[in-house]
């Protein structure tokens, strides 16, 4: 075994995603790329995938320009680039039509990406093998990923058999994707040996997150068992919810007798300094300092490092929303630690009930979101399962693929009571081709299709975000948010996150229903926040004999009238029945359908689609 070569891949994109919300701008990526190359130790660099393009759209940058300029220097230097994609879900959170998936691989290859790392959040080989086929047709190297998690249904044999099926189905390589870093070292070694025994010439790449603390031992074990490539990060974004550090892995493997490439330390220090510079510029404002620490509490819930980067931001918003509710009712507020532990415990409780989906995007978010909704309802004295988003139902019903385990009878009962039907067919069949619909929209708006139809791909892959990007709304919202964070001072990475004061959390406006009539009550607080003045109530139904009924947002997020191009948005004058859908609140990357609990005619839609709303905001007025 001594002397065997181990190659390194720098997961520069995932380093950022696992730490916070955003990735560097294209000018920053182009600035750091030559120095990554100069380090001389990387055979591969991860340049795209996951939330990369949505993040570009969110801060108003053209993602296609970013990908082309970011991959070019590595391609010119002979370093392979790879992307991460989610099989049925492409590079977004929900299923993608087959024609859009096929176009994605063609576009990404032409933009300069060599390898497609494809994983299914349920490890359903049907979804992964579609990606393998589409990637190879697009000219890419097809690397199929095993989403590793640790439970009684996720066995060594099950993973070896899955890898065997994927390789026989055409996969060029296998990635062992230890997205939460909870796979046990000895267990991993057995999986690697099992795969290599069947397919000794198939390259294996290991990806792990460092958070729970197993990763260094796991890397040594998988290298001894036969892995060829190791994903690494580097300072100042290694460790914590991110990935193991290049220098530590390099020293460990060299000492064990492996042939590892030399590191140009002058270039290393330049990359390190530039990465810090990008954090000081604006990215640090979106990195919670807690994400820089390792935490063995993560062994229990098994939440992935990539998701933990955004989780703390989600918790910040949800904690503020929950504490607003608490203050309104004179209840004691929760700390972030209170909410975090409640969440971890709830994830552990519900995961087996949901059929043990591997906790990787998007299903880690679905399980976490459902757990968080449960926690928030339980804190409010309500029952579990009161809000299950459409995306989560799709997972439970089999529309995203086969669950590894059995659903709990309680979940099956909930599905039947909600009139849901289980699906056992091929998931892709549920999502018909849609490029023609998006071509029509591009033509109607006079939008350019872009080189190799790359702009068409962005609209088809990320419709809501692309429209917000084209309108300028995304850039405006990002700049306003960044300005606010800078004014608050310090930024999260400096440990000076500004907590909402009680006065901030107190409502300024409340809607009160009295005997079927709605009144708006304005509340003002003195400078100290100690005095309260209640202005005269304004009768919302004074213009009509009939009282106005209000559909209220049950949670904080972005309000959308529709989530799919085929849906018809409600409009003023529409007749609404009890149970009719009036729109969605998108929160934590899932769309929560909002249904009317009253019947009548819509007299006002209070928010434009894409608007930020808070819990208890009025969405629609009906009479």
Q: Which of 192-201, 248-257, 321-330 bottoms out in mean pLDDT, i.e. has the lowest? A: 321-330
Give the structural domain span for 604.
Answer: 506-622
Q: Is the predicted pLDDT of residue 439 greater than 60, yes or no?
A: yes
Helix, strand, or coil here: 76?
helix
What's the confidence (pLDDT) of residue 306?
A: 57
Name the strand (E) or helix (H) holding 317: helix 305-328
The span from the first CA to the last CA of the chain, in angstroms, equals 76
| Average confidence (pLDDT) over 96-122 | 97
| Average confidence (pLDDT) over 255-277 | 98
Name the strand (E) or helix (H) holding 107: helix 98-111
CATH number assigned to the domain comprising residue 617: 2.40.50.100
Helix, strand, or coil here: 170?
coil
Residue 269 lies in a domain: no
Task: Look up the pTM and report it.
Answer: 0.79
**HSE on the CB side for 518, CA within 13 Å?**
19
Q: Is the predicted pLDDT of residue 383 greater than 70, yes or no?
A: yes
Phi, psi of 49 (to 5 degrees): 120, 170
What's the confidence (pLDDT) of residue 207?
A: 97
| Average confidence (pLDDT) over 247-264 | 98
What's the confidence (pLDDT) of residue 55?
A: 87
What's the confidence (pLDDT) of residue 503?
A: 36
Residue 616 lies in a domain: yes
Nearest to 249 by CA among 16, 187, 258: 258
pLDDT, one tens digit per residue, over 497-529 is: 333 333 333 444 444 444 444 444 444 333 333
What's the confidence (pLDDT) of residue 513?
A: 44
| Average confidence (pLDDT) over 410-431 | 94
pLDDT, one tens digit per residue, over 449-493 is: 999 999 999 999 999 899 999 999 999 999 999 999 898 865 445
Nearest to 127 by CA among 99, 98, 161: 98
Q: Which of 34-43, 312-321, 346-355, 361-370 bottoms out in mean pLDDT, i.e. has the lowest? A: 312-321
Q: Is the predicted pLDDT of residue 356 greater than 70, yes or no?
A: yes
Q: For the chain, how many structural domains are there in total?
A: 1
Residue 471 lies in a domain: no
| Average confidence (pLDDT) over 351-357 | 93
Q: Is the predicted pLDDT of residue 496 greater than 60, yes or no?
A: no
Residue 549 lies in a domain: yes
Paired tokens of 27:
């000018």
Instruction: List, in order, residues 6 or more apart from 619 with CB less than 8 Å away.
Output: 550, 551, 552, 553, 559, 582, 583, 594, 605, 606, 607, 613
Residue 236 lies in a domain: no
Residue 105 lies in a domain: no
What's the confidence (pLDDT) of residue 294?
A: 77
CA-CA distance, 146 to 163, in Å (whole number)? 7
Q: Is the predicted pLDDT of residue 1 greater than 70, yes or no?
A: no
Q: Is the predicted pLDDT of residue 541 greater than 90, yes or no?
A: no
**Do 359 and 179 form a contact (C-beta atoms < 8 A)?**
yes
Q: Which of 13-22, 250-259, 357-366, 389-398 bottoms out in mean pLDDT, i.e. has the lowest? A: 357-366
Q: Which of 386-395, 422-431, 439-448 bottoms out in mean pLDDT, i.e. has the lowest? A: 386-395
Residue 397 lies in a domain: no
Instruction: List, in order, residues 6 or more apart from 446 with CB less than 8 Å away.
Output: none
CA-CA distance, 346 to 374, in Å (whole number)? 8
What's the confidence (pLDDT) of residue 516?
A: 44
607 pLDDT band, cuts 50/70/90, is confident
Q: Is the predicted pLDDT of residue 375 greater than 90, yes or no?
A: no
Q: Is the predicted pLDDT of residue 587 greater than 70, yes or no?
A: yes
| Average confidence (pLDDT) over 417-446 | 95
Residue 583 lies in a domain: yes
546 pLDDT band, cuts 50/70/90, is low
Q: Which of 118-122, 281-285, 614-618 bottoms out in mean pLDDT, i.e. has the lowest? A: 614-618
Report percent pLDDT > 70 for the chain.
88
């Amino acid at each position: 075994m001594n002397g065997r070569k181990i190659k390194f891949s720098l997961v520069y994109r995932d380093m950022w995603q696992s730490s916070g919300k955003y990735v560097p701008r294209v000018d920053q990526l182009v600035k750091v790329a030559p120095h990554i190359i100069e380090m001389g130790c990387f055979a591969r660099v991860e340049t795209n995938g996951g939330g990369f393009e949505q993040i570009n759209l969110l801060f108003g940058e053209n993602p296609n320009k970013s990908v082309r300029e970011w991959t070019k220097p590595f391609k010119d230097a002979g370093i392979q680039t790879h992307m991460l994609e989610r099989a049925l879900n492409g590079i977004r959170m929900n299923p993608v039509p087959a024609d859009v998936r096929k176009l994605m691989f063609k576009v990404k290859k032409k933009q300069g990406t060599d390898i497609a790392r494809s994983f299914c959040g349920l490890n359903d080989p049907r979804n992964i093998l579609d990606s393998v086929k589409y990637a190879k047709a697009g000219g890419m190297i097809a690397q199929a990923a095993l989403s590793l998690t640790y439970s009684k249904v996720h066995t060594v044999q099950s993973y070896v058999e899955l890898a065997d099926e994927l390789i026989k189905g055409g996969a060029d390589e296998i990635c062992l994707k230890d997205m939460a870093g909870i796979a046990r070292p000895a267990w991993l070694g057995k999986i690697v040996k099992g795969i290599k025994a069947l397919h000794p010439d198939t390259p294996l790449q290991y990806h792990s997150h460092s958070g729970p603390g197993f990763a260094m031992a796991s890397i040594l074990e998988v290298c001894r068992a036969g892995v060829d490539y190791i994903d690494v990060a580097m300072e100042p974004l290694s460790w914590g919810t991110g990935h193991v550090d290049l220098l530590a892995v390099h020293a460990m493997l060299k000492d064990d007798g492996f042939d590892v490439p030399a590191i140009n330390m002058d270039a290393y220090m330049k990359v390190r300094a530039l990465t810090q510079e990008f954090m000081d510029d604006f990215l640090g404002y979106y990195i919670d300092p807690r994400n820089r620490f390792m935490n063995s509490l993560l062994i229990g819930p098994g939440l992935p490092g990539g998701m933990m980067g955004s989780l703390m931001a989600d918790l910040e918003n949800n904690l503020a929303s929950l504490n607003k509710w608490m203050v309104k009712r004179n209840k004691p507020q929760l700390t972030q630690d209170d909410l975090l532990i409640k969440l971890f415990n709830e994830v552990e409780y519900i995961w087996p009930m949901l059929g043990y989906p591997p906790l990787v995007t998007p299903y880690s978010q679905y399980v976490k979101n459902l757990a968080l909704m449960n926690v928030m309802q339980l804190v409010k004295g309500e029952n579990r399962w009161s809000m299950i988003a459409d995306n989560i139902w799709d997972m439970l019903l089999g529309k995203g693929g086969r669950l590894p385990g059995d659903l709990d009878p309680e979940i099956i009962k909930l599905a039947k009571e909600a009139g849901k039907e289980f699906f056992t067919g091929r998931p892709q069949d549920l999502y018909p081709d849609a490029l023609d619909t998006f071509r029509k929209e591009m033509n109607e708006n006079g939008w350019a299709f872009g080189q190799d139809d790359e702009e068409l791909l962005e609209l088809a892959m990320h419709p809501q975000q692309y429209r917000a990007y084209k309108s300028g709304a995304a850039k405006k919202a990002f700049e306003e948010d960044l300005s606010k964070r800078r004014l608050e001072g310090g930024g999260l990475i400096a440990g000076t996150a500004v907590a909402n004061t009680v006065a901030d959390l107190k409502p300024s406006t409340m809607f009160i229903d009295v005997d079927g009539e709605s009144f708006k009550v304005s509340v003002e607080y003195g400078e100290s926040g100690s005095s309260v003045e209640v202005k005269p109530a304004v009768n919302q139904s004074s213009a009509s004999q009939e009282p106005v009924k209000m559909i209220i947002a049950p949670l904080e997020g972005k309000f959308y009238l529709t989530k799919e191009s085929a849906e018809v948005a409600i409009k003023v004058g529409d007749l609404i029945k009890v149970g009719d859908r009036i729109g969605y609140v998108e929160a934590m990357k899932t769309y929560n359908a909002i249904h009317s609990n009253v019947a009548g005619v819509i007299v006002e839609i209070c928010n434009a689609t894409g608007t930020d709303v808070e819990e208890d905001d009025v969405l629609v007025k009906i009479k």
